[in-house]
Amino acid sequence: MLRKLTAGIVRYRRRLLAAAVVTLSLAPLALINGNAGAAVALAPQPGNFTGYGFDACTAPSSDAMAAWLKSSPYRAAGIYFGGNNRGCTQKNLTADWVREQVTRGWRLIPLYVGPQASCTQITGKRNLIDNKNAAAQGRATAEDAVRQATALGLSKESVLIYDMESYRMDDAACRNGVLQFMSAWSARLHDFGYFSGYYSSIATGIADQVAVYHQAGYVRPDYVDFARWDQVVTVTDKVIPASYWQPKRRMKQYRGAHQETWGGVTINIDNDYLDFARLPAAKLSDWNRNGWSDVLARTSSTGNLFAYPGNGSFVSEGGRANVGAHKSANALLRMDLNRDGYVDLIARTGAAVYFYPGLASGRFGARKQLYKNFGHMRELTSIGDFNRDGYPDLLGVQTSNGNVYLYPGQKGAKFGTRKALAYGDWTKRSEFTGAGDFDRDGFQDLVLKLNSNNGLYLFPGKSGGFKSPVRIGSAAGFRDFLGVGDFDRDGYTDLAAVQSSTGNLTLFRGNGKILAAGVRISTGYKGRSPLF
């Protein structure tokens, strides 16, 4: 059972760590991809939910769940679905049980109890994190969690919460091991389309996550579940800054083990309060279709195009995939022009513009010429569905008159008759990028650099053109600005760019009004251009 180690705020989720050691089973990843008779997936769990929940060490019987659904104030229930430190047997926890509870109206809180910190404050024989191999261990553990979740019918975008019991704060190697483990866990869950949750004591595990919330290269959990047994029903806490894990990314365990009886059924539970919502979609830039924004870039020396997967915190170098070669192209941009769900490539070689359909293989199909002579246009930009007719559009500036034109996407993977959006000398502006709906008014927006002052300006879209520009940041020292959709999935679209002096890929988070200070999300981009 959960135990209070001190009179302070160190708390433990209860009855989770078994004395018996269960070895991680790492079957082929085909299992994760749904090729092993996995249960039919339900809606993501717990999904959008604000309210009371409970967790019990063993999943209650279906009859008990029915009685509590009818009589208790709870509508969410924690389930310990896997992990080599899971402490209780789960004879009831089957795919059929999961489906029955969700169909009845329960929201499920998936909890996974894997290796614990090497300096854990839980006594007895435990499976521990190997601090020298923590990242690899975290990835492998995430793969096992996805496998277990899939077998139970827990669909992608479910929140898989890692249970990390309280640990000592005087062991730097141990604390660093936990961080490496959890960063790898979160990144690997994202690879497979699941959200990462993290349960721990507010004084230890949560405090350490707060400390690295903005650390470059760290993949923080998408949701936190913190323990403070003060019986105060809230998801705010003095340890967690108000802007962290917001909006609707928090859960609190506010009371420990005790018995409650509802509908004539008694269960030993912990009390939880949830304020969860599914994260917004990345929208514009999800190349590998796992829900997170990615970056495509050309290696200048070879002309090879690579897709670099993002995970909400950084862009992976090791996970890159070669998607083609276009050394002679002078313009590259992406959009789903044929609307088949796969990202397509638009490339200009010489003066001709070509369409390359995206394929399920992650490569491109045979090209189709869209324009024979398009050399009179500059700053070709994928602007999204600017005219809101359901097709992605192309924007460009005519060099002879400086006017901005929209080329509307049409059925048949082509563009229709162009329409002028703005007049005047736009040739003194550069770094055009489609910013998505930056100000969240329902129209696609444009961001560009004013060459005279290096200012970065938002041109909010409106019907037939643009509203007055607003300065949202500075482009000084940066090149290859790119709209990366909602990179961190906080509900606002973001931009990325390459720092010219270092080659660092930098993320500028949007908040609907301006861009935040840049944070490094990758390195090694000096020899890469363009980004798209």
CATH code of the domain in which 385 resides: 2.115.10.10
CA distance 325 to 303: 5
Domain shared by 231 and 332, yes or no: no
Domain shared by 446 and 357, yes or no: yes
Select the more confidently predicted residue: 8 or 39.
39
Domain shared by 156 and 193, yes or no: yes
CA distance 185 to 169: 21
Rounded mean pLDDT of 240-251?
A: 97
Domain shared by 234 and 304, yes or no: no
Tens digit of each residue's pLDDT (9 = 90 or more) over 164-206:
999 999 999 999 999 999 999 999 999 999 999 999 999 999 9
Tens digit of each residue's pLDDT (9 = 90 or more) over 53-80:
999 999 999 999 999 999 999 999 999 9
Residue 521 within a domain: yes
pLDDT at 216: 83
Residue 36 within a domain: no
| Confidence band of 33 (pLDDT split at 50, 70, 90) | very low
pLDDT at 30: 38
> Which one of 276, 308, 326 terminates a domain?
276
pLDDT at 4: 30
pLDDT > 50? residue 37: no
pLDDT > 50? residue 28: no
Residue 441 within a domain: yes
Rounded mean pLDDT of 303-308?
A: 97
Considering the chain, what percentage of its residues have pLDDT values greater than 70? 92
Domain shared by 263 and 325, yes or no: no
Beta strands of 114-194 (E only): which ranges? 159-163
Residue 287 within a domain: no
> What domain range is 174 assigned to?
49-276
Domain shared by 251 and 337, yes or no: no
pLDDT > 80? residue 35: no
Domain shared by 205 and 240, yes or no: yes
Q: Residue 519 in contact with residue 216, Cβ under 8 Å? A: yes
How many C-beta neighbours within 10 Å does residue 376 have? 12
CA distance 147 to 66: 28
pLDDT at 13: 56
Tens digit of each residue's pLDDT (9 = 90 or more) over 233-244:
999 999 999 999
Select the more confidently predicted residue: 146 or 15.
146
CATH code of the domain in which 210 resides: 3.20.20.80
Residue 310 within a domain: yes
Number of domains in the chain: 2
pLDDT > 80? residue 312: yes
Residue 471 within a domain: yes
Domain shared by 246 and 326, yes or no: no
Rounded mean pLDDT of 318-344?
A: 95
Domain shared by 266 and 357, yes or no: no
Domain shared by 239 and 341, yes or no: no
| Amino acid at position 523, single letter | T
Tens digit of each residue's pLDDT (9 = 90 or more) over 262-302:
999 999 999 999 999 999 988 778 998 889 999 999 999 99
> For 140-144, 149-153, 277-281, 476-480, which range has the lowest pLDDT when averaged over its residues?
277-281
CA distance 372 to 368: 11
> Which one of 276, 305, 329 terminates a domain?
276
3-state secondary structure of 333: strand
Tens digit of each residue's pLDDT (9 = 90 or more) over 421-449:
999 989 999 999 999 999 999 999 999 99
Domain shared by 444 and 383, yes or no: yes
pLDDT at 407: 99
pTM score, two decimals? 0.86
> Which one of 276, 309, 342 terminates a domain?
276
List Cα–Cα distances, 77 to 69, 101, 106, 198, 473, in angstroms.
10, 9, 7, 16, 45
Domain shared by 267 and 322, yes or no: no
Residue 41 within a domain: no
Residue 457 within a domain: yes
Q: Closest by alpha carbon to 495, among 429, 207, 503, 506?
A: 506
